[in-house]
Each structure stands twice: as structure tokens, then as C-alpha cells.
């Protein structure tokens, strides 16, 4: 009773694709961050699945680190979201176009 | 058996992910995301990585999503937010991004299936957590320190960014 | 001794020209320098003539080397033989007389020094042309005289019409010059050298009517036709009368326009082996002489009559060259220089004293008022009409007898008809200007200097035919056996023409208004010089202008501007991606990943 690796990889990629869709299609910052989280989760799943090919628990170690990184990133991201909301009272990303030119 | 469980949780995860990214209500989206995380945790367990499954539930679903919910609650303005969200996102106008991600998925699946097909062996290792611990404090102890430092810097950064710089900003 | 004199002859006028161009001198000094440079050259020529009167061997001298490429050498070498000696005598002699005349004519003009500088430069260039040993040096002189002609025609450059006339002269002769240059190159290709002697010797050995020889001779002839105002490049000469009259006398009567004839006479052996081209030359000469003579019959401007007359007489010279009578052509060149210069100078004196009046219908009865000018005109016109015993008589009769001897009946008839018309318009000119009621009185006396010069030229016109005629009549081939008709018709026809002109004048035909429309049209056509100006206008000028109108927005520039526009459009396109929209940036990252992976799959780079 084995799980084909291809299934796992396809599932992970499907989740990643959904995350990509969310990042590109949504204008609300919170939803974009949520979609990025989904992508991160998908990639972490991919790592763990790939690590089961090799003996040892290295996959779970890497999963831990990915987790830590995701946490750190979300913390800062949400702080920035709060700052933006305080300034513009809206979470529309199109307001952040000051970098034109 | 494992396969059926896997397919079930995969379907749940995908469905919840879809609802999350297309929802208009932020809180609903986050709750569905929690369900997705739980499904993925189950998959981790099926892969023979119980430690990863536990971490997924505790840290990801339990801390990060909660953080999201806090911020969403802070910034949510009730019905107005939902209505503005309707304006910002509509499924009809999201055709091109859908096409983009579909193409991406198809491409990498093609890549995947043009290579070799490997079988995967899974085993629910009960000793695996102990093994992880031994690796963490043995071979990869530096990584832990680095991860801790990263979290510390994220903490300090988040506090600094989110602190209102003048009294006017803080009263909102 | 003679070699250094030969070197000095073109050098002196050149030096004079440079001095007058570069330094600012008082009027008297400038005149002195100009006159003395030509005068000294004339003296040198006289000396050479005296020295070589008994036996004549060609003299060669060189200023130095010009270019040396591998085995090809070209030097500033001058070559003096019988033909060129005659030419430089004319150039220096008549040129000097005209310089003296100009000293009086331009006495009150502002551009006095400039005038003499250009005149000296012209004489220097003409001497270089005539004395040149090789075709490239000849071409240098050729271009030099063209330049000086342009400068002198447009001398009074503040008047727009003069500039246009100068441009016309230069551009039309340029057409000829280009043909000549191509002919020159073809000759070099054929014979491997540009040395005139060399070419003549080699051409004599070739079979006649070779293609390349024919072509190069034809091109040289086109160059000569341009310079000597032959059909179809003849309509610059009447307009060139816009320049001062001494210029018309020197350049457009005596010297520059004879350069073409000199060119062909010089390459006698070469042209002798291109029989078809000689035929063309004869025909063109005949057409031109009829064209000029007919147009001169109706002109009202004094100088234009003389200009058309020059065109006609040059046609005679080309006719002579075309039938192979080179000696007759050169002889006519010499006599024509005398009487035409006389006529032009007399016209200049007339115009000068009548306050720049050019219209002969506004003149009349000046016989008593201006005796010396009248005598000059009468003698000059008589020589022009080839009345017996005058210089023009000998040369024209020689030409016509050579023509009929070769059997060209139609050409001979054309020559006789031309002679008739020549006498007619000369008589008309004299009758209208010097006889009849006085309309305008001269407001000043003729300067002494002008009278002296005209007297010299009168003598030359009277006697200048006798000595060379006796020499010419000694040539064995040149006393043809002529029938009674062909001998006496050319002698009698001027008298018939003069009688006809007198009758017309008496009846007032010249001054009466023309009623019938056909005659009016015909009169207008002749007046316009057979409408060549409007023909060229339609053929060349108008299409060119319509081309420039089409190209108003500069088609070639449009191509470059298109590149520029495309670049700007690309720039706008790419800078629109820098709009600061984070969504766009996101999307472009993902898009790039998608496209990259697709490319990898399609090119099989990732298996």
C-alpha cells in the first residue's frame, strides 16, 4: 500500500496553482497574504513528500524551518497591513502605486 | 485505505482552498483555511510525518491563522467591508488569472509525468518524533538558533512597523 | 629660351589674377597689373611667332609634375604647335585689346578690381586649355573657363536675372562637361594614356569606326557642343549677354566658345577614325547655323542678335570640322574672333553711350552721331556677311567649298541659306541702328581708348583674311574644282540678302506690327530662339519640381523618422509596465514563470 509520489506532487501543485490564482486575482491585501500562505503550505507539503523518499526525518526538519519562516513573514506582513490601513483606511493594493516610473 | 484517506483529504483541502480564495468575507475565508490546514495535517500523518502533522495543527492552524484573524477583526468594518470586497473581486472578472494558474498547473503536471514514476513507501513511524528531536539538537542545532533569530527579528520588526509614530495615527 | 617663354605665357595672367584677387589695390594700379600681365603674354607670343616664322618645330615645356601613379604620369606640360600658336595669338592679342577696352568700359564701376581679376583668370585658364599636353590638364582649363564664364556673366550679381543667366550657362555647359569627362575616361581606358599626341598617334593606327573610339569621340563632341553652344545645348548663350559687354566679346565670341572647336581640331587623327561622329558633327553644325541665323533675324536686343550670330558662326566651324576641313575651321575661328569681337565692342560702346539702351527699335540714325562706331559696325557686319575681300569672306568660302567638294549637297545648301540669313540680319541691324530717324542721342562721347581698340580690330577684320588665305590656298587638297553655281552662289547670296533687307526696311516691314496670327506665332517662336527654353522647362525642370513636390515630406527621412517613432512607441509600451501597480508586478512574475516553464517543456530542456 504505497502512495504514488506523482499524486502527492500533483496535489501539491494544484494547491500551489490555487494560491497563485488568489495572489493574482484578488485586490484585498489580506486575501493576497492568505493566498501566499496557501502557496507556502503547498511547497512545504512538497518538501515533506519528497523527503519520504530518503531515509531519516530530514523532511520534518525542513518543514519546521519553513514554518518558522512563514510565521515571521506573516508577522511582518500583517504589521504592514495595519500600517497601510491606518494611513489609507482601505486595503486595496492599487493604492500602493507610488513606485510608478 | 491510505489512498482513500489521502484522496478524501486532498479533495477537502482543494475545495477549502478554492472557497478561501474566492470568498468575499475575510473571516469566512480564514475559517475555511483552517479546515484546509487540518486536511493537510492529515496528509502529513499519512505520509509518516506525525511531528509535521502536529506542527501543522499547532503552529500553522493554531498560531498563524489566529494572527490573521486578529488582524482581520481589527480591520474589519462589518458589512461595508464585505460590500467593498464585492467591488474588489468578482469571479467573472477573474478569468485571466484562472487561465494563468490553470496553465501553470498543466505545465508542471506535464513535466512531472514526462519523468519517471516513483512509488513511495509510507510508514507510520512511531519513533519518528524522537528521531526528529535527535536530529534537531544534534546535527541541525545551528538551524534552530537561526530560526529563533529570524523569529526574533520578525517580532521586533513587526512591533516597530505597527507602532503608531505620532499620536494622531494611534487614535484610529 | 622659347620653353621658358612658353611657361611664362599662362603663368603671367594667372599671377595677375591672384594678385588682383588677394590684394586691395587702387584703381590705376589694378588696371595696370591686369593690362600688363596680358600685354606681356601677348609680347611673348609675338616673340615666339617671330622666332619660329621660318621653321616651326613643336615646343614643349612643363611647370612640374601633377600626379604619378605607378606607371601613369601626368604633368603640367604645355605643347605648342601650329594650331595652338594660332589660338594663343588670338587669345592674347584679342584678349589684350579687350582688356584695354574694359579699362574704359568699367572705369566707373565698383567691382573694377574683381572684374579684371576674373578676366585675367579667364585668360590664364584658356591658355592652359589651349596649351595643354594631356586631356586632364585640358579639362582643368575647360573647367576654369566655365567657372570664369559663370563669375563674369553674373558679375553684376545684385540683379537676380544675371544670377539666373549665369547659373543657366554653367549648368548647361556642365552637362557637356560631364559627357566630356566620361569620354576622357573611355579614351584612357582604350589607349592607356591621356597624352594628346599619344592618343592621336594610336588612333591613326586603329581601324576606323571602332565602337569605343566612336563613343568617346561622340562624348567629347557633346562636351564641345556644350561649351560652344551648339544644338541642343545652345540656349545659354543668348542669356549670357547679361554680363558686361567686354565679357561677351572675349568669352562668348572670341575665346571660350571656340574651345569646343579647338578640342576637336586638336584630336584630328582621333576624330578622323570616327567617321559616324564626324557626320553627326556636320549635321549638328548645319542645324545650329540655321537655328542661330533664323533666330537672329527677329531679335530686338542688340546683344542678342550678336549672340545668335555667334551660335550660327560656330555652327559653320563645326560644319567644317564635320567634313574634315580642320584648317578651314581654324581659319574661320580666327576671322570670327576678329569681327565678332569688333562687333561686340562696338555694341558695348554704343550701349555705353546711349545710357544702357539695348533695344534696336529705339535707336536710329546714329551714323553721323557716332562715326567710329558706325564704321566698326559696318565693317564687322560686312565681314560677318562674308562680303568679298573681307576676312570673313575667305574663311566662309573655304568652308563651303570643302563642304560641296565632299558631296554634301544638303549641308552646303544649309550653309548658303545660313549665309543669306546672316547677311539679312546684319543689314537689318545696321539699317535700324544707324539709318533712319534719330530716336535717342548719345549722351556722352566715346572714350578715346575704346576708339583706339575698335580701330585695331577694324584693321584686323579688313586685312586679317589675306595672309592666312594665301597660305590656305596653297594647300594642295583645298582648291576644289567647283562648278559655276557652287562657286558663285555663296558670293552672290549676301548681296541678295542685303537688297532684300533694304527693301523691307524701306517698306517699314521691320517696325510694322504683325497682323496675321500665323506670322505672329512664327515670329514669337523665332524670337524665343525656337522655344528651346520652354522645351527644356517641360522636359526637365517641371518633372524635377514635381518630384520635389512629391518628396516634400522627404521620403528617405520618413524611414528614419519611422524608426524613431517605433522606438518612442516601444519606449511608451515598456514604460507603461513601470506603473507602480503591485498587482501587475505580481502577475508579471507569475507570467514569466509560466512562460519559462512552457518554453522549457517545448524545447525539451527539462526531462
Given an 8 Å threshold on Cβ–Cβ distance, is B101 in contact with A33? no
Q: Is the pLDDT of residue C542 over 80?
A: yes
Protein fold of A5-98: Helix Hairpins (1.10.287)
pLDDT at C224: 92
Beta strands in C344-453 (DSSP E): none
CB distance C129 to C141 below 8 Å: yes
pLDDT of residue C73: 81
Specify whether the CB–CB gap between C343 and C415 falls below 8 A.
no
What are the two backbone dihedrals, phi and then psi, of residue C70, each rounded to the nearest 5 degrees? 60, -110
Residue A85 distance to chain B (closest CA, Å): 7
For C370-398, what is the mean pLDDT? 87
Residue of B29, B48, B55 lying closest to A52 (CB–CB): B48
Going from the C-alpha of C514 to that of each of B140, C313, C431, C509, C519, the distances in angstroms are 124, 29, 20, 9, 7
Q: Residue C344's pLDDT is what? A: 92
State the Cα–Cα distance between residues C71 and C62, nearest whole angstrom.
19
- Beta-carbon separation of B157 and A79 below 8 A: yes
Residue whose cell numbers read 573611355:
C186
The pLDDT confidence band at residue B126, using thresholds 50, 70 and 90, is: low
% of residues, chain C, pLDDT over 70:
96
Beta carbons of C258 and C337 less than 8 angstroms apart? yes
Distances from the Cα of B26 to the Cα of A91, B29, B40, C309, angstroms: 12, 5, 21, 108
Residues of B in contact with C604 (CB under 8 A): none
pTM of the full structure: 0.71
Domain ranges of chain C: 2-474+481-512, 553-606
CA distance C246 to C118: 12
Nearest to C271 by CA among C193, C333, C187, C181: C187
Q: Which residue of C has its CA nearest to A17?
A: C590
Neighboring chain B residues of C606 at a CB cutoff of 8 Å: 111
To the nearest whole Å, the CA of B108 is away from the closest chain C CA by 8
Is B113 near chain A, with CB under 8 Å? Answer: yes
Mutate which: C596, C597, C600, C607, vs B, most B CBs within 10 A? C597
**Which residues in chain A are contacts of C574 at CB distance < 8 A?**
none
pLDDT at B172 over 50: no
* Cα separation, B116 vs B113, whole angstroms: 7
Mean pLDDT of chain B: 85
Summarize the confidence of residues C169-181 as an average pLDDT: 92
Q: Does the distance separating the beta carbons of B6 and A7 come in below 8 Å?
A: yes
Q: Which chains touch B (3 or more CB pairs under 8 A)?
A: A, C
Residues of chain C with pLDDT > 90, as a percent, come to: 31
Residue bearing the bigger pLDDT, A4 or C573: C573
Q: Within the 9-48 window of chain B, which residues sit less than 8 Å (CB to CB) from chain A? A: 10, 13-14, 17-18, 20-21, 26, 29-30, 33, 36-37, 40, 43-44, 46-48
Residue C591: list chain B partners with CB under 8 A. 100
Residue B110 touches partner C, C-beta closer than 8 Å: yes
Alpha-carbon gap, residue C544 to C509, rounded angstroms: 42
| Chain A residues touching residue C588 (CB < 8 angstroms) | none
**Region at C299 (left for phi over 0; alpha for psi -120 to 50; beta for the rest):** beta
pLDDT tens digits for range C429-462: 998 888 888 888 888 888 888 888 888 888 888 8
**Cβ–Cβ pairs < 8 A, chains A and B:** 230
Whole-angstrom distance, CA of residue C499 vs CA of residue C490: 15
Q: What is the mean pLDDT of residues B103-120?
A: 78
Any idea which of C54-58, C231-235, C263-267, C525-529 has the lowest mean pLDDT?
C54-58
Instruction: Name the 3-class secondary structure at C59.
Output: strand
Q: What is the mean pLDDT of residues C483-491?
A: 77
* A99/C580 touch (CB, cutoff 8 Å), yes or no: yes
Average pLDDT of the residues in C389-413: 85
Residue of A nearest to C580 (CA): A100
Taking the CA atoms of chain C, what radius of gyration do you get in angstroms?
Answer: 30
Residue C268 vs residue C485, higher pLDDT:
C268
Reply yes or no on whether the pLDDT at C509 is more than 90: no
Question: pLDDT value at position B121?
Answer: 60
Query: In this predicted structure, what is the pLDDT of residue C470?
Result: 54
For residue C592, what is its C-alpha cell?
514569466
| pLDDT at C525 exceeding the cut of 60 | yes
CB contacts of B97 in chain C (<8 Å) are 587
Largest Cα separation within chain B, whole Å, is: 62
- The ranges assigned to domains in chain A are 5-98
The CA distance from C278 to C227, in Å, is 18
Contact C275, C208 (CB under 8 A): yes
Interface residue C583 vs chain A (CB under 8 A)? yes
Contact C587 A96 (CB under 8 A): no
Q: What is the DSSP string of C430-472?
A: HHHHHSSS-----SSPPPHHHHHHHHHHHHHHHHTTHHHHHHH
- Check if C582 contacts A (Cβ < 8 Å): yes
pLDDT > 50? residue C474? no
To the nearest whole angstrom, how far is the Cα of C554 from the nearest Cα of chain B?
Answer: 46
| ipTM for this prediction | 0.90
The yes-or-no verdict on residue C518 having pLDDT over 70 is yes
Q: Does B159 touch chain C (CB under 8 A)?
A: no
* Chain C partners within 8 Å of A23 (Cβ): 586, 590
C144 vs C258: which has the higher pLDDT:
C144
Q: Is A86 on the interface with B (CB under 8 A)?
A: yes
C587 — contact with chain A (CB < 8 Å)?
yes
Mean pLDDT on C325-336: 88
Q: How many CB atoms are closer than 10 A to CB C19?
A: 18
Q: Does C582 touch chain B (CB under 8 A)?
A: no
Tell whether A27 lies on the interface with C, counting CB pairs under 8 A: yes
Check CB contact under 8 Å for A18 and B162: no
Report yes or no: A88 at the C interface, CB cutoff 8 Å.
no
Q: Measured between CB atoms, does B136 come within 8 Å of chain A?
A: yes
The pLDDT tens digits for C38-61 are 999 999 998 888 888 776 778 888
pLDDT digits (tens, 9 = 90+) for B146-158: 999 999 999 999 9
Nearest to C601 among B100, B101, B111 (CB): B111
Q: What pLDDT score was predicted for residue C81?
A: 85
Alpha carbon C24 to chain centroid, angstroms: 31
pLDDT exceeds cutoff 50 at C90: yes
C606 in contact with chain B, both atoms CB, cutoff 8 A:
yes
pLDDT at C477: 47
Q: Would the CB atoms of C586 and A99 count as touching at under 8 Å?
A: no
Please report which confidence band the pLDDT of residue B120 belongs to, taking 50, 70 and 90 as the band edges: low
Interface check C496 vs B, CB under 8 A = no
What's residue B167's pLDDT? 62
> What burial class does residue B59 get, using C-beta atoms within 10 Å of its C-beta: 0-12 exposed, 13-18 middle, 19+ buried?
middle
Distance from CA of C571 to the nearest CA of A (A): 12
The answer to whether C579 contacts A20, with C-beta atoms less than 8 Å apart, is: no
Please identify every stretch of chain A with a pLDDT value under 70, giving residue numbers as ranges: 1, 101
Condensed to tens digits (0 to 9), the pLDDT of residues B41-57 reads 999 988 888 899 999 99
B97 touches chain C (CB under 8 A): yes
Count the neighbouring beta carbons within 10 Å of the beta carbon of residue B54: 15
* pLDDT exceeds cutoff 90 at C223: yes
Segment C158-168 shows an average pLDDT of 91
Pick the more confident residue, C343 or C393. Answer: C343
- CB atoms near residue B127 (< 10 Å): 8
In whole angstroms, what is the distance from residue A100 CA to residue C575 CA? 9
Say which range, B39-48, C49-58, C309-318, C336-345, has the weakest mean pLDDT: C49-58
Residues of A in contact with C575 (CB under 8 A): 101
Residue C449 CA: distances (Å) to CA of C97, C110, C131, C458: 10, 20, 30, 14
Q: Which of C115, C113, C223, C241 is nearest to C168 (CA)?
A: C241
Is the per-residue pLDDT at C161 higher than 80?
yes
Query: C600 and B108: CB-CB below 8 Å?
Result: no
Give the pLDDT mean for C529-550. 88
Per-residue pLDDT, averaged over C550-562, amounts to: 85
Residue C287: strand, helix, or coil = helix
Give the model's pLDDT for residue B127: 62
- CB distance from A69 to chain B under 8 Å? yes
pLDDT, position C388: 83
Mutation for A interface: C572, C581, C583, most A CBs within 10 A = C583
**pLDDT at residue C586, rounded to an integer:** 87
**Separation between Cα atoms, residue B47 and residue C4, nearest integer Å:** 117
Tell me if the bond preceding B22 is cis, omega within 30° of 0: no
Residue C476 in this model has a pLDDT that exceeds 60 = no
pLDDT digits 0-9 by tens, C590-605? 999 999 988 888 887 6
CB–CB of A26/A94 below 8 Å? no
As a whole number, mean pLDDT of residues C553-567 equals 88
State yes or no: pLDDT of C190 exceeds 90.
no
A3 reaches C (C-beta below 8 A): no
Cβ separation A57–B10 shorter than 8 A: no
Q: Is C578 helix (H, G, I), strand (E, B) or coil?
A: coil
B122 close to A52: Cβ distance less than 8 angstroms: yes
**Mean pLDDT across C346-374:** 85
Chain B closest-CA separation from residue C607 CA (Å): 6
Dihedral (CA of C430, C433, C438, C441) sign: negative
Query: Which pLDDT score, from 0 to 100, does residue A3 have?
Result: 79
Interface touch C606/B103, C-beta < 8 Å? no
Look over chain C and give the mean of its residue pLDDT values, rounded to a whole number.
Answer: 86
Contacts of C286 (CB under 8 A, 6+ apart): C315, C319, C410, C411, C414, C415, C418
C-alpha cell at B100: 494563468
Distance of CA A82 to the CA centre of its chain: 19
At residue C312's C-alpha, the angle toward residues C310 and C318, to 5°, is 105
Inter-axis angle of helices C409-434 and C371-384, nearest 10: 170
Confidence of residue C475 (pLDDT cuts 50, 70, 90): very low
Please answer whether residues C310 and C237 qualify as being in contact, where contact means their C-beta atoms are separated by less than 8 angstroms.
Answer: yes
pLDDT for residue C275: 86
A50 touches chain B (CB under 8 A): no
Contact B104 C590 (CB under 8 A): yes
B39, β-bridge pairs: none
**From CA B163, how far away is CA B104, in angstroms rounded?**
40
Residue in A4, A18, A80 nearest the CB of B17:
A18
Q: Are A1 and B3 in contact (CB under 8 A)?
A: yes
CB–CB of B51 and A74 under 8 A? no
Q: Cβ C580–A27 below 8 Å, yes or no?
A: no
Reduced to 3 states (helix: H, G, I; strand: E, B; else coil), residue C301 is strand
Amino acid at each position: 500500500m504505497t502512495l504514488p509520489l506523482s499524486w502527492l506532487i500533483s496535489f501539491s501543485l494544484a494547491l500551489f496553482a490555487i494560491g497563485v490564482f488568489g495572489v493574482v486575482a484578488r485586490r484585498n491585501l489580506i486575501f493576497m497574504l492568505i493566498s501566499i500562505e496557501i502557496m507556502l503550505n503547498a511547497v512545504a507539503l512538497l518538501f515533506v513528500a519528497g523527503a519520504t523518499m530518503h531515509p531519516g526525518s530530514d523532511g520534518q526538519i525542513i518543514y519546521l524551518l519553513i514554518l518558522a519562516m512563514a510565521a515571521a513573514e506573516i508577522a511582518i506582513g500583517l504589521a504592514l497591513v495595519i500600517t497601510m490601513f491606518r494611513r489609507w483606511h482601505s486595503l486595496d493594493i492599487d493604492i500602493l502605486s507610488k513606485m510608478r516610473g | 485505505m491510505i489512498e482513500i484517506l489521502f484522496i478524501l483529504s486532498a479533495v477537502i483541502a482543494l475545495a477549502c482552498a478554492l472557497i478561501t480564495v474566492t470568498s468575499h468575507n475575510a473571516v469566512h475565508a480564514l475559517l475555511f483555511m483552517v479546515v484546509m490546514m487540518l486536511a493537510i495535517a492529515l496528509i502529513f500523518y499519512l505520509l509518516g510525518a506525525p511531528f509535521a502533522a502536529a506542527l501543522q495543527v499547532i503552529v500553522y492552524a493554531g498560531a498563524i491563522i489566529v494572527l490573521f484573524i486578529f488582524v482581520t477583526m481589527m480591520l474589519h468594518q462589518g458589512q461595508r467591508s464585505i460590500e467593498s470586497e464585492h467591488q474588489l473581486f468578482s469571479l467573472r472578472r477573474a478569468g485571466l488569472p484562472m487561465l494563468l494558474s490553470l496553465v501553470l498547473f498543466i505545465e508542471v503536471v506535464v513535466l512531472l509525468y514526462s519523468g519517471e514514476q516513483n512509488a513511495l513507501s509510507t510508514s507510520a513511524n512511531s519513533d519518528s518524533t524522537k528521531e526528529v528531536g535527535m536530529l534537531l539538537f544534534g546535527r541541525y542545532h545551528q538551524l534552530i538558533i537561526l530560526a529563533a533569530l529570524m523569529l526574533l527579528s520578525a517580532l521586533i520588526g513587526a512591533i516597530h512597523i505597527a507602532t503608531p509614530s505620532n499620536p494622531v495615527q494611534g487614535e484610529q | 629660351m622659347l620653353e621658358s617663354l612658353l611657361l611664362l605665357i599662362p603663368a603671367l595672367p594667372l599671377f595677375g589674377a591672384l594678385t588682383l584677387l588677394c590684394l586691395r589695390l587702387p584703381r590705376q594700379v589694378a588696371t595696370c597689373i591686369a593690362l600688363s600681365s596680358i600685354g606681356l603674354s601677348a609680347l611673348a607670343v609675338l616673340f615666339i611667332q617671330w622666332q619660329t616664322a621660318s621653321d616651326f618645330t613643336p615646343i614643349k615645356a612643363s611647370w612640374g609634375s601633377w600626379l604619378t601613379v605607378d606607371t601613369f604620369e601626368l604633368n603640367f606640360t604645355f605643347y605648342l604647335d601650329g594650331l595652338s600658336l594660332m589660338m594663343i595669338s588670338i587669345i592674347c592679342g584679342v584678349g589684350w585689346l579687350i582688356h584695354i577696352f574694359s579699362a574704359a568700359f568699367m572705369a566707373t564701376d565698383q567691382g573694377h578690381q574683381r572684374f579684371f581679376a576674373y578676366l585675367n583668370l579667364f585668360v590664364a585658364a584658356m591658355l592652359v586649355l589651349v596649351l595643354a599636353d594631356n586631356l586632364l590638364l585640358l579639362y582643368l582649363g575647360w573647367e576654369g573657363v566655365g567657372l570664369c564664364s559663370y563669375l563674369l556673366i553674373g558679375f553684376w550679381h545684385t540683379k537676380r536675372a544675371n544670377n539666373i543667366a549665369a547659373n543657366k550657362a554653367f549648368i548647361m555647359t556642365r552637362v557637356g562637361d560631364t559627357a566630356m569627362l566620361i569620354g576622357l575616361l573611355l579614351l584612357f581606358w582604350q589607349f592607356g594614356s591621356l597624352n594628346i599626341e599619344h592618343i592621336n598617334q594610336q588612333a591613326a593606327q586603329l581601324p576606323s569606326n571602332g565602337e569605343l573610339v566612336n563613343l568617346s569621340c561622340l562624348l567629347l563632341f557633346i562636351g564641345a557642343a556644350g561649351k560652344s553652344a551648339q544644338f541642343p545645348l545652345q540656349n545659354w548663350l543668348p542669356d549670357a549677354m547679361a554680363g558686361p559687354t567686354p565679357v561677351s566679346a572675349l568669352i562668348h565670341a572670341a575665346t571660350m566658345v571656340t574651345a569646343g572647336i579647338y578640342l576637336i581640331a586638336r584630336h584630328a587623327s582621333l576624330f578622323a577614325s570616327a567617321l559616324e561622329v564626324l557626320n553627326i558633327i556636320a549635321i549638328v553644325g548645319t542645324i545650329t547655323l540655321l537655328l542661330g541665323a533664323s533666330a537672329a533675324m527677329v531679335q530686338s536686343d542688340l546683344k542678342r542678335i550678336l549672340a545668335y550670330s555667334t551660335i550660327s558662326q560656330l555652327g559653320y566651324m563645326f560644319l567644317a570640322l564635320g567634313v574634315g576641313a580642320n584648317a578651314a575651321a581654324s581659319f574661320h575661328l580666327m576671322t570670327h574672333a576678329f569681327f565678332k569681337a569688333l562687333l561686340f565692342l562696338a555694341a558695348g560702346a554704343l550701349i555705353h553711350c546711349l545710357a544702357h539702351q539695348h533695344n534696336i527699335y529705339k535707336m536710329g540714325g546714329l551714323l553721323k552721331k557716332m562715326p567710329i562706331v558706325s564704321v566698326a559696325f559696318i565693317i564687322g557686319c560686312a565681314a560677318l556677311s562674308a562680303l568679298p575681300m573681307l576676312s570673313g569672306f575667305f574663311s566662309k568660302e573655304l568652308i563651303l567649298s570643302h563642304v560641296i567638294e565632299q558631296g554634301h549637297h544638303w549641308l552646303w545648301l544649309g550653309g548658303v541659306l545660313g549665309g543669306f540669313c546672316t547677311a539679312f540680319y546684319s543689314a537689318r541691324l545696321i539699317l535700324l541702328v544707324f539709318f533712319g530717324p534719330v530716336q535717342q542721342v548719345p549722351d556722352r562721347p566715346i572714350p578715346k581708348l575704346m576708339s583706339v581698340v575698335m580701330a585695331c580690330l577694324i584693321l584686323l577684320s579688313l586685312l586679317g583674311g589675306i595672309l592666312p588665305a594665301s597660305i590656305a590656298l596653297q594647300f594642295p587638297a583645298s582648291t576644289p574644282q567647283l562648278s559655276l553655281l557652287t562657286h558663285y552662289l555663296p558670293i552672290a547670296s549676301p548681296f541678295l540678302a542685303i537688297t532684300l533687307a533694304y527693301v523691307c526696311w524701306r517698306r517699314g516691314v521691320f517696325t510694322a506690327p504683325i497682323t496675321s496670327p500665323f506670322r505672329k506665332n512664327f515670329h514669337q517662336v523665332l524670337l524665343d530662339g525656337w522655344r528651346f527654353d520652354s522645351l527644356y522647362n517641360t522636359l526637365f525642370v517641371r518633372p524635377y519640381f514635381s518630384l520635389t513636390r512629391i518628396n516634400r515630406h522627404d521620403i528617405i527621412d520618413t524611414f528614419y523618422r519611422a524608426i524613431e517613432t517605433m522606438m518612442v512607441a516601444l519606449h511608451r509600451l515598456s514604460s507603461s509596465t513601470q506603473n507602480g501597480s503591485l498587482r501587475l508586478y505580481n502577475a508579471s512574475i507569475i507570467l514569466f514563470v509560466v512562460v519559462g516553464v512552457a518554453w522549457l517543456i517545448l524545447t525539451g530542456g527539462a526531462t
